[in-house]
Amino acid sequence: MKILRVDMSQNQIREETVPAAYERLGGRALIAKILLEEVPPTCDALGPHNKLIFAPGLLAGSGVTTAGRLSIGGKSPLTRGAKEANAGGTAGDVLGKLGFKAVVVEGQPSKGDFYILYIDGDEAEILPADDLVGLGTYETSDQLQEKYGSDSTVISIGQAGEGCMGGAGICVTGEGGQRSNYAARGGLGAVMGSKGLKAVVIDKPVGKAVPLADAEKFRTAARTFAQKLINDPKLGTKGSQHLYGTASIVAAVNEIGSLPTRNFSAGNFEGMEKLRGEHLREVTLSRGGEAGTRCMPGCVIACRNVYVDESGKPIVGTLQYETIALLGSNLGLGSLDEVALLNRMCNDFGLDTIETGAALGVAIEAGLADFGDFASIRGLLEQVGKGTVLGRLIGNGAVATGRVLGVRRVPAAVGQGMPGYDPRSLKGNGVTYATSPQGADHTAGNAFGARKEVNPLGVEGQKELSLKLQIIAAMLDSTGLCLFARPPIIAEPQLMVDLVNGRYGWDWTVEDYNRFNRDVLRTELEFNRRAGLTAADYRIPEFMREEPLPPHAATFDIPDSDLDSVFEAL
């Protein structure tokens, strides 16, 4: 395997054999290690010393179901710490098949020019992107696929990333003209913009396959893994995840009183019925849209959808839970059509819907629009594409928006806007938001699925739960696996060990695998420590610790001592 080093200061590319220290790492684990080894932790996240790292997971390209997620990372302009966000689409798979352990983008052009990185098999080059500057991700992907082939993979940023806005994510295309896969969180689109990189285009590798050291062991494990997912009552073809997508949890999050509503001022939303996954499926199918589609080739869960308007024309694919919570109930909007339109705008500008939804909620609280008033909210969001000062403010996310507009009720932790679970009534997620080296992420250690095991309103057991989930998340993000694929691995860790050993011929034991997963967190925490983050940065905002959240009048009351000791057991 190899690493591609792309130097945007010198306009040079070189291929590197994988150093020993990186050999057994992939995805998020590799990103954390490269950051710690190579990036000055206190550097300007948008300056030349940061690196933007594309790293497929350990199992990328091998055909294991759900294992094609592409991890993208760097020092985050929002959290100031280590960041990894991952996306579906075809990028993880093709980079894996091409034998790339990572593509590391370094430096920064001296002028504000933009470029494309074009990868064709073993060749790579940096090309001018003048004609793409200012375009959204849809048009960028369309133009590039028209030029390089509809089966090529395009990784791109929109206006938000070009403008180095902290809420910018990175878009990855999927099979068959599919769009809307985002490595959304932490402002990595701004890092890509700061590198002058408008897009990466990867030609479809023909006839390439990853070598399997022990094909039989690998294939047995891969089959078992896929079968277990298919047999899982939630994930299989009759499961809610497949039928209703991630939106299947809208009603359940609302039921526990944790659905962000009007800038996190309530945990129930009166318009919830029209936002839930069941309604989403009904509307989608009745209009000729699609449900149960895939973000990655070969995924057996297939939780995506293509949401269409009344005439059957696609608005966005896919409409997901976090987006529905942050751009829906959090803004007082109870219409999927409205949420989908805002979602499409975010996708096009290349904005994280979570960060942007949180920022819009804060802006509405400051009086710049009205909760529930689609037209005024759309008007705000349009500003991002126009690059106005107001647009740049929203595009920079919740914390910047709150600071400039003088709003104290900012739902964020470690500088990053919170996803769709109010931590006051889902305290396990609060512990994760307040301790994860990744900040407030929905995938860093999400306790929602464990709400029946650990009382979401109680203090007891939350820190242990969060740590357990954070370790699992680190593993998934490092192998390229989807978060939803975790049940079989949790039930039988040997399955993952067999997959990895079968793929690489290593002699990992379950203990090695456990250490590997924990090391991801340790490495990230150490980078963050060196970057200057302290307990003070990892806290739930004051208002959530003091303002009771209806309907349970819950505050975030996990003691600081619990938060400070989460990683003692690491």
Choose one: 67-75, 177-185, 253-261, 405-413; the region binding its own copies (CB under 8 A).
405-413
Q: Say which residues have a Cβ less than 8 Å from residue 166's Cβ, sequence separation at least 6.
A: 77, 78, 187, 190, 355, 395, 396, 397, 400
Site map for its own copies, 132-161, x if CB under 8 A? ------------------------------
> Residue 488 and residue 474: Cα distance in Å, rounded?
16
- By beta-carbon proximity to its own copies, the closer residue of 120 and 537 is 537
Determine the straight-line distance between the first and last CA of the chain, rounded to whole angstroms: 31
Choose one: 248-256, 315-323, 335-343, 400-408; the region binding its own copies (CB under 8 A).
400-408
Apex 141 CA angle, 136 and 145, nearest 5: 155
Site map for its own copies, 71-110, x if CB under 8 A? ---------x------------------------------
Please name the amino acid found at residue 556. F
CB of 185 to its own copies, least distance (A): 18
Q: Which of 44, 122, 131, 370 binds its own copies (CB under 8 A)?
A: 44
Question: According to the binding rule CB under 8 A, does residue 561 interact with its own copies?
Answer: no
> Residue 434 and residue 438: Cα distance in Å, rounded?
9
Query: Over 120-170, what HEC string results?
Result: ECCEEEEEECHHHCCCCHHHHHHHHHHHHCCCCEEEECCHHHHCCCCCECE
Positions 540 through 559 that interact with its own copies (CB under 8 A): 541-543
- The two tokens of residue 124 are 């790579």
- By beta-carbon proximity to its own copies, the closer residue of 404 and 457 is 404
Question: According to the binding rule CB under 8 A, does residue 47 interact with its own copies?
Answer: yes
Question: According to the binding rule CB under 8 A, does residue 39 interact with its own copies?
Answer: no
Question: According to the binding rule CB under 8 A, does residue 469 interact with its own copies?
Answer: no
- By beta-carbon proximity to its own copies, the closer residue of 108 and 462 is 108
> Residue 34 and residue 423: Cα distance in Å, rounded?
32
Listing DSSP states for 449-482 in one string gives: GGTTTS-TT-STTHHHHHHHHHHHHHHHHHHT--
Q: Which of 10, 12, 17, 42 binds its own copies (CB under 8 A)?
A: 42
**Contact (CB, 8 A) for 306 and 284:** yes
* Phi-psi category of residue 270: left, alpha or beta, with phi > 0 → left and psi -120 to 50 → alpha: alpha
- By beta-carbon proximity to its own copies, the closer residue of 93 and 524 is 524
Positions 48 through 67 that interact with its own copies (CB under 8 A): 49
- By beta-carbon proximity to its own copies, the closer residue of 437 and 502 is 437
Name beta bridge partners: 118. Answer: 125, 201
- By beta-carbon proximity to its own copies, the closer residue of 41 and 289 is 41
Nearest to 305 by CA among 249, 254, 353, 247: 247
φ, ψ of residue 211 in degrees (nearest 5): -70, 145
Q: Which of 206, 233, 311, 406 binds its own copies (CB under 8 A)?
A: 406
**Contact (CB, 8 A) for 365 and 543:** no
Choose one: 36-44, 132-140, 441-449, 550-558; the region binding its own copies (CB under 8 A).
36-44
**For its own copies, how many residues bind (rule: CB under 8 A)?**
35
Q: Which of 155, 393, 469, 489 binds its own copies (CB under 8 A)?
A: 393
- By beta-carbon proximity to its own copies, the closer residue of 47 and 458 is 47
Q: How far is CA 423 from CA 255, 440, 467, in A?
A: 14, 10, 16
Choose one: 162-170, 232-240, 348-356, 431-439; the region binding its own copies (CB under 8 A).
162-170
Q: Which of 226, 247, 308, 368 binds its own copies (CB under 8 A)?
A: 368
Site map for its own copies, 501-540, x if CB under 8 A? -----------------------------xxx-xxxx-x-
Q: How many CB atoms lie within 10 A of CB 367?
A: 9
Question: According to the binding rule CB under 8 A, does residue 212 interact with its own copies?
Answer: no
- The two tokens of residue 51 are 């690196």
CB of 157 to its own copies, least distance (A): 13
- Widest distance between CA atoms in the chain: 62
Question: According to the binding rule CB under 8 A, does residue 400 interact with its own copies?
Answer: yes
- The two tokens of residue 447 are 């306790």
- By beta-carbon proximity to its own copies, the closer residue of 44 and 282 is 44
Strand 197-202 and strand 314-316: the pairing is unpaired
> Residue 307 and residue 46: Cα distance in Å, rounded?
35
Residue with tokens 């129930």: 268
Question: According to the binding rule CB under 8 A, does residue 164 interact with its own copies?
Answer: yes
Q: Which of 36, 230, 251, 405 binds its own copies (CB under 8 A)?
A: 405
Choose one: 45-53, 118-126, 486-494, 517-525; the region binding its own copies (CB under 8 A).
45-53
> Residue 149 and residue 277: Cα distance in Å, rounded?
35
* Positions in the binding site for its own copies (CB under 8 A): 41-44, 46-47, 49, 80, 163-166, 368, 389-390, 392-393, 396, 400, 403-406, 408, 530-532, 534-537, 539, 541-543
